[in-house]
Amino acid sequence: MKLHSEKNTYGVDHTRNSIEELSEFSTLEIDADTVNDVENLAQGVFSPLEGFMCRETLESVLNHMRLPNNVPWTIPILLPVKPGFHAKEGDSIVLTNDSVPTAIMQIEEKYSFPRGEIALKTFGTKEMNHPGVKQVLTGEDTFIGGKITLISQANSEFEKYAFYPRQTREIFKKKGWKNVVGFQTRNVPHLGHEHVQKAALTLVDGIFINPVIGKKKPGDFRDDVILESYEMLLKNYYSDTRATMGILKTRMRYAGPKEAIFHAIIRKNFGCTHFIVGRDHAGVGSYYGPFDAHEIFSEFPDLGITPLFFRSFFHCKKCGGVVNEKICPHDGDNIVNFSGTKLRAALTEGRNPKGMLREEVFKVIQKHKQPFIE
């Protein structure tokens, strides 16, 4: 049976078929993270992908960091299933979340692939302490690939900022921005972040603050704390004619340099012309060098978005502000590094680490008894 559908302005297919007709299809229950993947595939966030990867695409990404047509792509987008999953190639299935139909998927291929190879070639390690590796190695090794058609859009807890590329491009156009820099974040904003953002903003027309909202590792900041903190920062320290915010609904992979390329592609899809790449972008632990995420961009001259590289910034007591090693001659006790570990320790103790957080941001964080993911 073929579904008849018509798309609204945001790309969601509203089926004219009844729930009874949908019930003729086999179903696959998916979790919230996979729902985000489905929506990102359907709404152009993961363009040029239109569905979950088949084997040829996966192998090309793992071995060459490109799709089979040579377009840059670095992160596998996969739909794992249990080995006994009964649907076969050529079948259409309904993807459901909490038994609610989310999308139709046309299965092009069902295949097995070694989880260890996916982990090693994506993250550069097979150590279970790496959160991305752990997710891969504890998952399934059977996958289905194929295009998806979105049936319904899930309600977002943060609907105010839940934009997709058609919307962000229209926002940028209405603001008159021809050159837009994207900023990826999974943290509350400290003064180092603000300095980097404003330095980049001097080169373009506007900045798009784009926090990742989705699964993260324990110890990371909660989504609501991140958004409230940025709301306060933007309200008090940015012009609304030059800055705006929207969320990226996806999970962190912690794939370091490869995820930096992935993040840049996504921001290009949102309509950004430039992308900020900081120190240890999307890194975790000591798995990647502090500037590996800068160096990998030399392999992608055809990426279609301009990276802006920023090295380490710190607060200098003698200079009286945020600086870096190029413009500050001081060292020793004058220097306060923007350490995530120190920041979390101070916040746990109820302190605002001097020179690191705006007071308004600190107050937002402190009103939450537990601002971190447990």
Q: How many domains in the chain?
A: 2
Does the structure show a pLDDT above 50 at 254? yes
Distance from C-alpha of 20 to C-alpha of 170, rounded to nearest angstrom? 37
Token output for 163? 């934009």
Please tell me which residue, 8 or 120, carries the higher pLDDT value.
120
Distance from C-alpha of 99 to C-alpha of 202, rounded to nearest angstrom? 48
Q: Which positions are annotated as active-site residues?
A: 185-187
Instruction: Give the domain-ending residue among 98, 121, 150.
Output: 150
> Could you tell me if residue 45 is left (phi over 0), alpha (psi between -120 and 50 degrees) or otherwise beta?
alpha
> Is residue 372 situated within a structural domain?
no
Query: Same structural domain for residues 141 and 212?
Result: no
For 283-337, how does the pLDDT look when each residue is reduced to its tens digit (9 = 90+)? Answer: 999 999 999 999 999 999 999 999 999 987 888 999 988 988 888 999 999 998 8
Query: Same structural domain for residues 263 and 342?
Result: yes
For 159-170, how does the pLDDT look when each residue is reduced to its tens digit (9 = 90+)? Answer: 999 999 999 999
- DSSP states of 161-182: G---HHHHHHHHHHTT-SSEEE
For 19-45, how does the pLDDT look when each residue is reduced to its tens digit (9 = 90+)? Answer: 566 778 899 999 999 999 999 999 999
Nearest to 140 by CA among 160, 113, 180: 113
13, with CB counted inside 10 A (0-12, 13-18, 19+), is: buried
Q: Give percent above pLDDT 90 in the chain.
A: 81
Q: How far is CA 7 from the centre of its chain?
A: 26
Confidence class for position 201, pLDDT limits 50, 70, 90: very high
202, with CB counted inside 10 A (0-12, 13-18, 19+), is: exposed
Instruction: Give the domain-ending residue among 88, 120, 150.
Output: 150
Query: Same structural domain for residues 124 and 201?
Result: no
In the block, tokens 């989705």 appear at 214
> Is residue 373 situated within a structural domain?
no
Nearest to 265 by CA among 199, 187, 186, 210: 210
> Is residue 236 situated within a structural domain?
yes
For 64-116, how does the pLDDT look when each residue is reduced to its tens digit (9 = 90+)? Answer: 999 999 999 999 999 999 988 989 999 999 999 999 999 999 999 999 999 99
Query: Same structural domain for residues 140 and 216?
Result: no
Please tell me which residue, 1 or 274, carries the higher pLDDT value.
274
> Is residue 275 situated within a structural domain?
yes
What pLDDT does 24 receive? 81
Does the structure show a pLDDT above 70 at 7? no
pTM of the entire predicted model: 0.92
Q: What is the mean pLDDT of residues 5-19?
A: 43
Mean of the per-residue pLDDT values of the chain? 92
Query: Same structural domain for residues 218 and 112?
Result: no
Beta bridge partners of 314: 323, 337
Token output for 156? 């977002």
Distance from C-alpha of 302 to C-alpha of 6, rounded to nearest angstrom? 34
37, with CB counted inside 10 A (0-12, 13-18, 19+), is: buried
Query: Same structural domain for residues 131 and 243?
Result: no
Please tell me which residue, 337 or 203, carries the higher pLDDT value.
203
> Is residue 83 situated within a structural domain?
yes
Does the structure show a pLDDT above 70 at 4? no
Query: Same structural domain for residues 142 and 163?
Result: no
Query: Same structural domain for residues 164 and 143?
Result: no
Which runs of consecutive H residues, i.e. helices, occur in 210-358?
A: 223-237, 257-270, 292-295, 340-348
Which CATH number belongs to the domain containing residue 111 in this structure?
A: 3.10.400.10
Which CATH number belongs to the domain containing residue 316 in this structure?
A: 3.40.50.620
Q: In what order do the strands lie in the sheet with 313-316?
A: 321-324, 313-316, 335-337
Query: Same structural domain for residues 136 and 196?
Result: no
Lowest-confidence segment of 138-152, 248-262, 326-340, 359-373 by average pLDDT? 326-340
What pLDDT does 295 receive? 98
Instruction: Give the domain-ending residue among 122, 150, 178.
Output: 150
> Is residue 74 situated within a structural domain?
yes
Query: Same structural domain for residues 193 and 131?
Result: no
For 232-246, how does the pLDDT look when each residue is reduced to its tens digit (9 = 90+)? Answer: 999 999 999 999 999
Q: What is the mean pLDDT of residues 251-271?
A: 98
What pLDDT does 354 receive? 76
Please tell me which residue, 369 or 69, carries the higher pLDDT value.
69
Q: How does 336-362 read in b/e, with b if 16+ C-beta sit within 10 Å?
A: bebeeeebbebbeeeebbebbbbeebb
Query: Same structural domain for residues 20 and 96?
Result: yes
Cα distance between the two ends of the chain = 46
Q: What is the DSSP letter of 187?
A: S
For 131-156, how does the pLDDT look when each residue is reduced to its tens digit (9 = 90+)? Answer: 999 999 999 999 999 999 999 988 88
Does the structure show a pLDDT above 60 at 17? no
> Is residue 218 situated within a structural domain?
yes
> Is residue 371 situated within a structural domain?
no
Token output for 259? 């995820």
Q: Give the largest Cα separation in the chain, rounded.
A: 72
Query: Same structural domain for residues 129 and 277?
Result: no
Beta bridge partners of 27: 94
What pLDDT does 93 receive? 96
Residue-number span of the structural domain to which 337 is assigned: 159-366
